[in-house]
């Protein structure tokens, strides 16, 4: 069974999946490695690795180090074609469909496609939608693209439907790392009910309640990265995972 099918089975059996996002630019110090090592025990379903802007020139080494610390699927969430390595299990082969910058709609994808084929990586076609978050985030700055306004559910739905008709298998609603406001539950609900694709939600989710609200709104997968990286806490990781896997575990 491939990584994507495994994640879909997690959604079916546990209500939703939980993923930890590791930014290779932040390095893998003892605390962050502890998060990776504890991820499987805490019930995490996969580890994402990627960055909007790479200063670390050893992306492959970071992925290898993570693979050595966990048996969970390690999935690349690339900011560019430079973030592709055979050491991962799969890649979110994503297009920034909310933007109009051709570099992130198709150029980087064309550069990266031969590497994905050469390395035998499982590609998960993903429609990446950046949502306004009250702050200029790294991905918005680097991609030179406008995010979808947080109160424009109809625009988000139209983009998600375009992703569906283009043959993508996943929609990723992201407020961006270090955002001020996460993707609103109302937008998650609107998109997940409008298209028959699993919806991944990330950016600014810091509490079990944040995560549970998005799952109850229809999110299939929840991603938490910056908050755990800034304040590594195994206890909090357990609580976040529990909120995603069992909606009844958190009262909202």
Query: In this structure, are strands 221-224 and 170-174 parallel, antiparallel, or unpaired?
Result: unpaired
How far is Cα 54 from Cα 51, in angstroms, rounded to an integer? 6
Selection from 14, 81, 23 nearest residue 48 by Cα: 23
Tokens standing for residue 210: 């944040």
Is residue 26 over pLDDT 80?
Answer: no
Contacts of 163 (CB under 8 A, 6+ apart): 97, 127, 129, 171, 195, 197
Helix ranges, 43-137 (H): 59-69, 102, 108-119
Domain 3-249: CATH superfamily, name plus number: FMN-linked oxidoreductases (3.20.20.390)
CA distances for 25 relative to 4, 52, 96, 177, 181, angstroms: 26, 9, 21, 13, 23
Phi then psi for residue 93, to 5 deg, are -80, 90
Percent of the chain surpassing pLDDT 70: 97
Confidence of residue 30 (pLDDT cuts 50, 70, 90): confident
Tokens standing for residue 137: 């985030």
Please give the model's pTM, rounded to 2 decimal places: 0.95
pLDDT tens across 33-65, in order? 889 999 999 999 999 999 987 777 789 999 999
pLDDT tens across 94-109, in order? 999 999 999 999 999 9
């Amino acid at each position: 069974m491939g990584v994507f099918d495994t994640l879909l089975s997690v959604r079916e059996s546990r209500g939703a999946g939980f993923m930890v996002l590791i930014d290779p630019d932040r390095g893998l110090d003892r605390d962050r490695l502890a998060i990776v090592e504890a991820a499987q025990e805490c019930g995490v379903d996969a580890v994402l690795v990627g960055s909007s802007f790479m200063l670390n020139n050893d992306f492959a080494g970071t992925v290898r180090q993570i693979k050595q610390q966990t048996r969970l699927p390690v999935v690349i969430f690339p900011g560019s074609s430079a973030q592709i390595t055979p050491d991962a299990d799969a890649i979110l082969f994503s297009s920034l469909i909310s933007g109009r910058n051709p570099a992130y709609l198709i150029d980087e994808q064309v550069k990266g496609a031969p590497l994905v084929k050469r390395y035998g990586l499982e590609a998960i076609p993903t429609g990446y939608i950046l949502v306004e978050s009250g702050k200029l985030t790294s991905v918005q700055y680097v991609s030179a693209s406008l995010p979808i306004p947080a109160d424009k559910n109809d625009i988000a739905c139209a983009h998600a439907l375009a992703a569906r008709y283009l043959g993508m298998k996943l929609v990723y609603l992201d407020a961006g790392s270090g955002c001020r406001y996460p993707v609103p539950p109302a937008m998650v609900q609107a998109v997940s009910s409008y298209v028959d694709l699993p919806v991944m939600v990330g950016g600014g989710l810091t509490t079990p309640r944040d995560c549970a609200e998005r799952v109850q709104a229809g999110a299939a997968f929840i991603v938490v990265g910056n908050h755990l990286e800034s304040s590594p806490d195994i206890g909090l990781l357990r609580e976040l995972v529990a909120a995603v896997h069992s909606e009844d575990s958190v009262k909202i």
